[in-house]
Each structure stands twice: as structure tokens, then as C-alpha cells.
Amino acid sequence: MASAGDVWVGNGLGEIDRHQPMGTNVVFPTLCTQVNAMVFQGKTLFLADAFGNIWKVNTDTLTSEFFPQSFISTTLAIHNGDLLSGSADGKLRRMRTSDGTVLSTMTIGSTVDAITVEGDTVYIGGHDTFIRRGSAMAGPFTIIGACGGQVHSVTVNGNELLAAALDGKVYRINKATGQYQGFWNLPAGLGTPQVAMSGGYLVAGGVDGLLRWLNPTTGAVQFSTAICSNIHALTVVSTCKADLDRSGDLNANDFATMLNVYAAGSPHADIDGSGRLSANDFMAFMNAYAVGCP
């Protein structure tokens, strides 16, 4: 159910990078000013910058357009074909993806720094350290939990909401009841942490520019790689798992890439989505290869 695959990163200078099994490449050296948030709808990348612009990037043609707004989006999500924006002025807005027109606005209260959507439910984290939950279409948003610091990024792992806060901790909260399950410490020096689930891993990025894949329950670092300085936004894009070299088709190169990423301990070799590497991943790779890619 959880998506896994390529990780796209935006940094403090507006650089956009894509990390995939064959390595990391720079997609745009400087698309804009600081990237606040990124989200994909199919192959379209939506991005919010620190000037209040919403960028719409076609990742096939690498062409873009942008929609200036009167507010600063700090976090983005997709719901029902629309773009959801959480903002520094404490609002949750629904925007049309074709031209950025604001379709509706709900007042949350505190500065919104993080949203994540599952089904029709939105989870919100912000400056006041609270976690709020409500309907994506109509609200209302009620407080279900609290963290020990400003919440900067949220993601869902099964029954748990994971909230990365500015106190350097990830808080685990039962997403249905709000019950506090515990916390673990992020690696030091992340600054403003960004997190997203990728299969059985939690991917985290921050100011030190390293992308890390962590155990989402314990925080243990499973794998890390240097991406760029000052990661401000990241999003995970699900891909055809067997097309490991991302060539668009399946051939012997994908077997060679599987062997290489497995030998390197890369989370891209976790084909069965268990959050660790084992012989089962080779079985899962063979099965995925036999099924083929859409």
C-alpha cells in the first residue's frame, strides 16, 4: 500500500534533485528561491517556493509554469485531484491544479507547517506543536495530540502518524485515537527535518544534505547518501519496482542493477517493502519482473 521509489528533493537555493537506484541527478539547478514543499500528481511536480509561488513542473518535458499567490505555502498535498496547501497564515487552501485558483479556504489557527492526506482525512502539524485531524473537504479540525516542539513534517506509517518536530524528535501517535506511542531522536544537525514514508522506511532529510532511510519505529539509520546542501522539501514517487535502472523497460540491466543496489545495502533493493534486505527481495524482484510494468 505504501509508496516506495524515487525521492525528489528541493533545497534552500531552489535546486531540485532526483534520487533513484542509479544515483542522484540534478533536475533543475535553480528553479526558484527556497523550496518549501513538493508533491507529485502523476508525473507533474507541484512545488511551493518561499516567495509564495506555486510551480507546476512537467517532469517528462522539464517545462514549468508558476502561479503567484498572496500567501506562503509551507506544505502541499493532493486530494481529489486538487492541490492542498498549508500556509504560514494558518490556513488550509484547496487549489485547482490547472491554474492555481484557490477554490476554498479553511482557517486552522496556528501556522501550518505540515500536512499529510490519507483517503479523505488530513493530518496537520504546526507551530503550536499540536496535531490536528479533519475532513479534507469540510473540516472541522480537532486536536488529537501534541509534540514537544514545533511540528515541521508529518507522514503516516500504518496506524501511526509520525511527526518530525524542531526539537529533533519524531513523535509516534496513533492516527485514530491520538494516543501517544513514543518518540525517537533524529540524527543531530537536521535543522528543519522533512520526512516521508517509502515502503518500509522513513526517509528523512535536513540541512546537512544527507538523505537517510530510517526504521520508522526505532529511528535506526539503515542507509544514507549525500544529496545536496540544505534539504528543505522531499517527496517520494512510486515507481515500477522491477525497472531498477529506470530505463522504462525491463531487461538484463535491471538484474545487474538489482545486484548492485543489494550489495550496496540500498533501500532500493527492498523490493518486498519489509524495511530490510533479505533473499525475499530477490524473489519479489523476480515476481515483479515477471508481472512487468504498466
Could you count the other beta carbons within 10 Å of the beta carbon of residue 194? Answer: 26
Task: Extract the C-alpha cell encoding 27.
Answer: 533536475
Give yes or no for residue 179 binding Ca ion (CB under 5 A). no
Q: How far is the CB of 50 from Ca ion (least distance, A)?
A: 37
Look up cell 504546526; give the residue.
Answer: 126
Shorter beta-carbon distance to Ca ion: residue 39 or 240: 240
Q: Which one of 58, 159, 177, 247 is in contact with Ca ion (CB under 5 A)?
A: 247
Q: How far is the CB of 292 from Ca ion (least distance, A)?
A: 11
Shorter beta-carbon distance to Ca ion: residue 137 or 256: 256
CB neighbour class for 237 (10 Å; exposed up to 12, middle 13-18, buried from 19): buried
Give yes or no for residue 15 binding Ca ion (CB under 5 A). no
Give yes or no for residue 243 binding Ca ion (CB under 5 A). yes
Q: Which one of 49, 82, 254, 270 is in contact with Ca ion (CB under 5 A)?
A: 254
Give the β-pairing of 180-185 and 102-107: unpaired
Q: Among residue numbers 84 through 123, which ones bind Ca ion (CB under 5 A)?
A: none
Give yes or no for residue 272 binding Ca ion (CB under 5 A). no
Task: Extract the C-alpha cell encoding 258.
Answer: 538489482
What stretch of H or E contains 262?
helix 252-263
Q: Which one of 160, 245, 270, 272 is in contact with Ca ion (CB under 5 A)?
A: 245
Q: How far is the CB of 2 from Ca ion (least distance, A)?
A: 23
CA distance 215 to 162: 12
Q: Which stretch binds Ca ion (CB under 5 A): 47-55, 61-69, 192-200, 241-249?
A: 241-249
Q: How far is the CB of 282 from Ca ion (least distance, A)?
A: 17
CA distance 76 to 69: 14
Task: Extract the C-alpha cell encoding 170.
Answer: 519524531
- CB neighbour burial string for 34-71, b if at least 16 within 10 angstroms, e if fewer: bbbbbbbeeeebbbbbbebbbbbbebeeeebebbebeb
What stretch of H or E contains 199?
none
With CB atoms as reference, the residue minimizing the distance to Ca ion is 247
Shorter beta-carbon distance to Ca ion: residue 3 or 253: 253
Shorter beta-carbon distance to Ca ion: residue 194 or 257: 257
Shorter beta-carbon distance to Ca ion: residue 254 or 272: 254
Q: How far is the CB of 256 from Ca ion (least distance, A)?
A: 10
Q: Report the candidate in 262, 240, 211, 245 with the shortest Cα–Cα distance to residue 7.
A: 211
Binding site for Ca ion (CB under 5 A): 243, 245, 247, 254
